[in-house]
Amino acid sequence: MSSSIRLSRLLAVAVALVVAAAFLLFIATPDEPGPTSPEGADLVDVVRDYAGGLRPDAPYRPPVAAERRAFLRGLRVLASAEAADDLRALGFSITARVDPATGRRFAQVVDTRTDGRAWGLYLVDLSEPTRLLVEVPHPNYDLRTEEMGLALWRAVPGSLLAVSGTHRKVANGAGDVAHRADSMFHALATDFAERGVAQVQLHGFDDASLPGEEVVLSVGVDSPGPVARRVAERMSDAGLAVCLPWERSCGRLEGTRNKQGIAAAGSGSLFLHVEMNRSVRDARTEWMAVVDALAGADLTRG
């Protein structure tokens, strides 16, 4: 090998290392610490601690339109200076990490809960383009849905996990992001729906609300397609009692008033609304069967 070729390769390696180091430094150093577990903590603890800190009496103000636009702009170009400026100006801290469970690079974007800006926790897989949005609209209310969301995020490379920054009962219901169109959560879901990104939204219900059924799988206001039918079949094969609104009534658990589902239907993109009863959510083997059914159904394939 000639000295010129060797030198060129060494320079290429050096440039790559500098770029990687700059990226990590740029988004890994928050302006102020967020309300999460220390860096290096397992993501299960990070997500659980974040959800556990949500209270129905916490301060909250919905973001205005300009703030929602800045948030979306920041997430779209997460590895750039513009992203850091936009997101930090909104009160988010940003860290870059590697998930030990999957070996994949990801960015953790979390609100710092200042001035009522309780605008969510977002885990963005940086290993490939986003192809699935996993949504947890009611953390610390629909218990353990945040842990299920993390499990699904880990199971599907190229996912983005969105955990609401508010308890469902905050501000007389203003924090119920599944039924509001003025949150960061909804802005992200709408933006992704318009870009054709599939969405799964996780919910919980009391066993007594629909006796005899463990899961309600719906597509909101849309009609079921092959993906929804594949998921339903996999859940049934796993031994779960699944109620399907396109076959029979599932009470008030069908997600027809869900704002993100309505937006997805308007854009023609996939939206799955998954309700699980308390017994399923209390048993890891049961809720992992739900996660496995979703992950194994190839949600990004029509």
Going along the chain from its start, the domains and CATH numbers come out as: 3-296 (3.40.630)
pLDDT at residue 114, as a whole number: 86
Cα separations in angstroms, 239 against 25, 151, 230, 236: 47, 20, 15, 5
pLDDT of res. 82: 83
CA distance 105 to 117: 27
Give the separation between CA 219 and CA 268, rounded to whole angstroms. 11
Q: Tell me, rounded to whole angstroms, the distance of Cα 186 from its chain centroid.
A: 11
Q: Which residues of 76-101 are buried (b: 16+ CB within 10 A; e: fewer)?
A: eebbeeebbebbbebbbbbbbbebee
Alpha carbon separation from 203 to 105, 187, 196 (Å, rounded): 27, 19, 22
Residue 17 to residue 25: CA distance in whole angstroms: 12
Residue 180 phi, psi (nearest 5): -130, 150
Q: What is the pLDDT of residues 104-162, one digit of tens each?
A: 999 999 999 889 999 999 999 999 999 999 999 999 999 999 999 999 999 999 999 99
d(CA 253, CA 55): 24
* 101, 154 contact by CB (below 8 A): yes
Q: Which of 109, 68, 106 is nearest to 88 (CA)?
A: 109
With b for 16 or more beta-carbon neighbours within 10 A and e for fewer, the 115-146 pattern comes to eebbbbbbbbbbeeebbbbbbbbbbbbbebbb
pLDDT confidence of residue 106: 97
Q: Determine the pLDDT at residue 301.
A: 80
The pLDDT, as a whole number, for residue 6 is 45
What is the side-by-side strand order in the sheet with 159-163?
A: 92-98, 105-111, 121-125, 159-163, 132-136, 198-205, 271-277, 215-218, 242-243
Residues in the chain: 302
Q: Which helix (H) or strand (E) holds 231?
A: helix 226-237
Cβ atoms of 270 and 231 within 8 Å: the answer is: no
Q: Which pLDDT score is estimated for 245?
A: 98
pTM: 0.88
Could you tell me if 32 and 112 are in contact, meaning their C-beta atoms sit under 8 angstroms apart? Answer: yes
Q: Where are the beta strands (DSSP E) in the chain?
A: 92-98, 105-111, 121-125, 132-136, 159-163, 198-205, 215-218, 242-243, 271-277
Rg (Cα) of the chain, in Å, rounded? 20
* Predicted local confidence at residue 78, as pLDDT: 87
Ranges of residues in the chain whose predicted pLDDT is under 70? 1-41, 302
Which pLDDT score, from 0 to 100, does residue 96 have? 92
Say which amino acid occupies 19: V
